[in-house]
Amino acid sequence: MTTATTELLTVPDVMARLKLGRSKVYDLIRSHRLISIKIDGARRIPADAVRDFILGQIEEAA
């Protein structure tokens, strides 16, 4: 059995990393541009998903 350790971020963590407001982070989640999971009602975003989002934005801008 393989175990993976992925850092899970809260919405405020993502807000700070992306320098965005709460509503915009939830818009990104709702539009499936930012992957997230729910754990007993708590929304969590894998740090890898934030990195992938940033890389995708850089590619679009190039």
Mean pLDDT (whole number) for 36-52: 97
State the Cα–Cα distance between residues 15 and 45, nearest whole angstrom: 11
Q: Determine the Cα–Cα distance for residues 45 and 20; give it in Å rounded to an integer.
A: 15
CA distance 12 to 18: 10
Give the neighbor-by-neighbor strand order of the sheet with 8-9: 8-9, 42-46, 37-39
pTM listed for this prediction: 0.86
Q: Which of 33, 62, 29 is nearest to 43 (CA)?
A: 29
Return the pLDDT at 6: 84
Q: pLDDT over 70 for what percent of the chain?
A: 94
